[in-house]
Structure 1
Amino acid sequence: MPHIDHAAIWVADLDDARDFYSHWFNGHANGLYENPRTGLRTHILQFTDGPWEERRTRLELMSRPDITALAERTGLGWAHVSFCLPGREDVDRLTADMAEAGVRIIDGPRETGDGYYEAAILDPEGNRIELLAADYSDDVALRPSH
């Protein structure tokens, strides 16, 4: 059955983004890939910690001079990426640690209207990341709106 292999994001500072995701989410980066013809530089980070170690989650960080210049004009990017933690206390703890370290917290931690418990932060490039507690029921997103 098909599944998502990885998500990718364009960044201006490849090393800073790699360090951020490695430090806060225990990502393990592969070697740097560089394409001298296009200027593309990438790192793929693999995340294996947590209750689903048999599943491999990957994030590709990409930088290319022409894309970076275009992004400054368009402001396009992903909506968010969500990292799952075992429970609410874990979301609270990581959010507090990040805030203390100067990471920008933009929302929460809180229970959302659809029943998730999450906090929202920004990475060094201003991309939204959600920290989600995994202790929600399978039907949480199916709740009727009020």
Structure 2
Amino acid sequence: MRNFYIHYFDASSDEAYFNHSRDFKSYFLRFDGDCAIELMQMPGIPKSKNDPRKQFSGLTHFAIQVGSKQKVNALTEQLRKDGFQVVSEPRTTGDGFYESVILDPEGNRVEIVA
């Protein structure tokens, strides 16, 4: 996951944090501006039973702004070529955003926004 966001979305990463007594590990990924995502791993937590291609309660998706329609198109095609699922093709939404939606390696819905 860490390498995915660094490679495709130009995130930078802090060093790993380990809490050995809880068998917990995390990284903070930082994007341009004030946005950060914490990736956490703890072996005892079960995987979601939800289908990531469908909407569900809880975190449904998050968006990463890439700056232009051309970048949305290019990144969407690169991710498809690299074997990632495109859930929603690039388009202008009803509220005026140009975006696509892909699934990251763990099945999280990620909007790629101009």
State the TM-score, normalizing by the size of structure 2: 0.86
Q: CA deviation at 1:126?
A: 0.3
Gaps of 5+ in 2: 52-56
Q: Percent identity?
A: 35
Q: CA deviation at 1:87?
A: 1.5
The residue type paired with residue 105 of structure 1 is: V
Alignment equivalent of 1:59, drawn from 37, 40, 43: 37
Alignment equivalent of 2:65, drawn from 84, 107, 127: 84
Point out 4+ residue stretches in structure 1 off by more than 2 angstroms.
71-77
Gaps of 5+ in 1: 1-16, 49-54, 134-146
Count of paired positions:
109
Of structures 1 and 2, the larger Rg is shown by 1
Would you tell me which structure has more helix in proportion to its own residues? 1
- Alpha carbon RMSD of aligned pairs, Å? 1.7
Aligned equivalent of 1:125: 106
Aligned equivalent of 1:10: none
Aligned equivalent of 1:7: none
Instruction: State the alpha-carbon separation in 2 of the partners of residues 83 and 106 from structure 1.
Output: 15
Q: Does 1:109 find its partner at 2:90?
A: yes
| SS of residue in 2 equivalent to 1:44 | strand
